[in-house]
Structure 1
Amino acid sequence: MRLARSAHTEQPWRIHEFTRDFRIEDVWSYRTAGAGPNDFPVMLAALRGDGGFGKQSAPVRFLFALRWKLGALFGWDKPKASLGSRVPPLHDRLPADLAETVDTAAPRGMPFTPMYELADEAAQELANQTCHTVMHLGWAPASGDSGEYELRMAVLVKPNGRFGRLYMAGIAPFRHLIVYPALTRQWENAWRDRTVARPETTDPHPK
């Protein structure tokens, strides 16, 4: 479900310290029935065990394949346009308590590079010729009085000039009508079908 930007900005997440010059493109929520305040690591494990973007529906796989084809054709994804070339990685600006929570050199099944991972949030980044993007996953109380928690995804972007702004505007209908609904089904099913045990962790925001 699409949420207002305030659903991201009002949470006490560390990501706000490093993305003040990024704009919030999208905020989306994912239902995680029965989830408690300590279950963010469980959700991340469920997502990793679910196969990632490779398990998406045929329309979503087609859109991503088309995007990579266009990127190859027009040079959007060349090394000179990536993290560490066109833009410095946000990870390099993090304090040690955040930077040391992930291994940026570890193999991964998606184009994003991890920034950090905490008990209630995680962030990854990507840069190409169109924009510098951060995908933030956060754990927050669900709306209502259920006491449950839910997963929230925010897409934060810094477009690369006029072309980047036009690109983001052009793909918005595809994100909202095809990609995010399909991602919702996949991620909510991953939570429902999870098989990992819940770790013993403390509430990241004790009262």
Structure 2
Amino acid sequence: MAKLTRAAERSGHTLQALQDMIEHHVEGLFAQISDAFNALDRQRGGDGARLDYTSVRPEGARPWRWQVTPRWKRSPRGAFVHYRENANGAQVKVHAIQLVLAAVLADAETRGRVLILDELGNSLGEVNRKDMLAALRDVARRQHLTILGTCQDSVLVDAADVCDELLWFVHASSSDAYNQPTRTWGHDSDGKRVELTADWITAGRSHA
């Protein structure tokens, strides 16, 4: 019994050390995301943002959870406000995009990856929309990844100023299962937009 007790104590100490190591590593990642979140918000002209995080260690064979709460300031001298506090939709959307970009910036292995954002630019005013699109462009170039954003036609004009390629899908009608042929715009070496005759877009249709 004494031998088993000593073995159990050693296992308990090993588990404690392993959990300490995991907790330190994960919380270090959250700290990097929080710093990037704050930097992005201040670059945009905001008053600062951060992540609050708490580790909830499992008891026994249960999931390990971290409670993470995004917060941001609404004024230079104000307190950090919980993300669920009442706010206009544009403010929430801006910080949601900034948080995603902060996670990308905190990752050292993003080269060649693809980030997909749905309904990009919706619920944003003109100024916020341009700021967010510029931030997406800068992060994509800095981290060497591709960002694909779906958006409404009303966003295309602003998107064309920052992105490298536009794919324009036109819905034919409610009774037509297929869109009209996709139109593609890119940028030439002089920065002028040109419509591409991308044969590869339609190459596979004959095999459908």
User: Shorter-chain-normalised TM-score: which range?
Assistant: under 0.3
Q: Write 1 or 2 for the structure with the bigger share of helix.
A: 2
Q: TM-score, normalised by structure 1?
A: 0.25
